[in-house]
Amino acid sequence: MVYLDPEPVIKKLKEMNARRILLQLPDGLKPHVFSYFTKLSQNFSVIVSSSGFYGACDTGTRDEYVNVDAVVQMGHTEIPNVNYGIPVIFEEYIYPSAETFSGLNLTSLEEKGYRKIGVLYSIQYRESAFKFMEFLKDKGYEVRMGNNDGRLKYPGQVLGCNYSPIHDLDTWADCHIILSTGTFHSMGAQLSTEREVFVVEMSEPFTLHSMMEEADRRIRRRYANMAGIMDVDRFVVVVDTKVGQYRMKLAMKIKEEIESMGKTAVLAYANESNPVDFQNMMAQCIIFTGCPRVATDDFDRYPMPILTAQEFQMMFKKTGKGKYIFDEIVNVDRQ
Ligand code: SF4
């Protein structure tokens, strides 16, 4: 596979005079680790991170940085406004474009009279997204890709914590369509907007379906998780130490707000958030300022309510005027 050709990486590492390398591979690419490691090791001293990582927001811990000159992370795209503190080479993983979308059933767009479409993609499907725009244009739709903010590298791209291209087009578009697999990115997209979001599931035969009902169910479950928190007294406000999730200033502000209500708040660091740790602290509620998906997707793992920063503001500061606000990360603090 061309993608696993290490030569471009070797060239970049030589240019930066790096000698000691930390190599991060997502689980799907770990089977290639022996061949890749062997090739890099002919030129550099390489150590592989065997633990999982979450994306470009997570390039290893300070302990790991101490002994390396650079990180090579496979499969993700840099987050431009994160200061990584160490040189990081991101080897993007973009699939070749799909051949055609001609078999895709667009009835659900027709039925609702949607004509102006915002197109989004998770990074692997960037090439396909351009093909898809041509397909929609040929069918007579108006199509745009929204501009990204500083947390994304490309227009139309999304992360599970940032949907700025949606907001760029929200007043123009009738609906948004995201090219992705699974529901992680499409669920976040629908939670971030009141416009309808459709997902093109990128395994053939391609299908198009709305995320509206699933997102409504998720929001109802989020409100159920938050029921009763107005009476809670002991909060733990968590700062995730991952370089792309570190929002200390936000956490401190929330802690002050909790205290101003006469309640108790503890500020806590976490790298791998573990429900048992908070249980041992007798926490009654967690406000998690790192990845918002910990609260929105994994809350079932926690024996106490766990809220995003935006959910905290919705509940205690009455932001959102009754509408659910998805907690998007625009930028993080420098560590
Ligand atoms: S913060 Fe969460 S959603 Fe955002 S890039 Fe990291 S793991 Fe993905």
- List all residues 6 or more positions away from 52 whose beta carbon is below 8 Å from its beta carbon: 27
110 within 8 A of 121, measured Cβ to Cβ: no
**Over residues 244-268, mean pLDDT:** 98
Q: Name which residue sits closest to atom 4 of ligand 1, judged by CA.
A: 161
| Extended strands (E) in the chain | 20-24, 45-48, 70-74, 88-91, 116-121, 142-144, 175-180, 196-201, 207-210, 234-240, 264-270, 285-288, 306-308
Q: For residue 56, give the ligand 1 atom closest to its CA.
A: 5
Same domain for 82 and 11: yes
What confidence score (pLDDT) does residue 300 get? 96
159 within ligand 1 shell (Cβ under 6 A): yes
What confidence score (pLDDT) does residue 160 get? 98
Same domain for 239 and 200: no
189 within 8 A of 211, measured Cβ to Cβ: yes
Distance of CA 162 from the midpoint of ligand 1 (Å): 8
Which of 22-36, 71-85, 156-170 is predicted least confidently? 22-36
Q: What does pTM read for this prediction?
A: 0.95
| Distance (Å, whole) CA 36 – CA 233 | 51
Residue at 328 is within a domain: no
Q: Is the pLDDT of residue 176 over 90?
A: yes
Q: Name which residue sits closest to atom 8 of ligand 1, judged by CA.
A: 160
Q: For residue 245, give the ligand 1 atom closest to its CA.
A: 1
Q: What percent of the chain has pLDDT over 90?
A: 83
Distance of CA 9 from the midpoint of ligand 1 (Å): 24
**Over residues 284-288, mean pLDDT:** 98
Handedness of CA 100, 104, 108, 113 (dihedral sign): positive
What confidence score (pLDDT) does residue 187 get? 98
Same domain for 306 and 273: yes
| Distance (Å, whole) CA 168 – CA 177 | 14
Q: What percent of the chain has pLDDT over 70?
A: 99
pLDDT band at 30 (very low <50, low <70, confident <90, very high): confident
Distance of CA 161 to the CA centre of its chain: 4
What confidence score (pLDDT) does residue 1 get? 42
Same domain for 248 and 166: no
| Helix (H) or strand (E) run with residue 65 in it | helix 62-65
What confidence score (pLDDT) does residue 52 get? 80
| Higher pLDDT among residues 322 and 106, named by residue | 106
State the residue range of the domain holding 240. Answer: 219-316
Handedness of CA 236, 237, 243, 249 (dihedral sign): negative
Q: Is the pLDDT of residue 2 over 70?
A: no
Q: Name which residue sits closest to atom 6 of ligand 1, judged by CA.
A: 57
250 within 8 A of 85, measured Cβ to Cβ: no
Same domain for 285 and 234: yes
φ, ψ of residue 227 to 5 degrees: the values are -60, 135
Domain boundary among 41, 62, 91: 91
Scan for tokens 């987050």, then name that residue.
Answer: 79
Residue at 334 is within a domain: no
Residue at 327 is within a domain: no
Taking only the tens place, the pLDDT of each residue in 296-318 is 999 999 999 999 999 999 999 99
What confidence score (pLDDT) does residue 310 get? 98
**Over residues 122-136, mean pLDDT:** 97
Same domain for 118 and 54: no
Same domain for 138 and 73: no
What confidence score (pLDDT) does residue 175 get? 98
Residue at 102 is within a domain: no
291 within ligand 1 shell (Cβ under 6 A): yes
Taking only the tens place, the pLDDT of each residue in 192-229 is 999 999 999 999 899 999 999 999 999 999 999 999 89
Same domain for 175 and 128: yes
Say how many domains are in the chain. Answer: 3
pLDDT band at 3 (very low <50, low <70, confident <90, very high): low
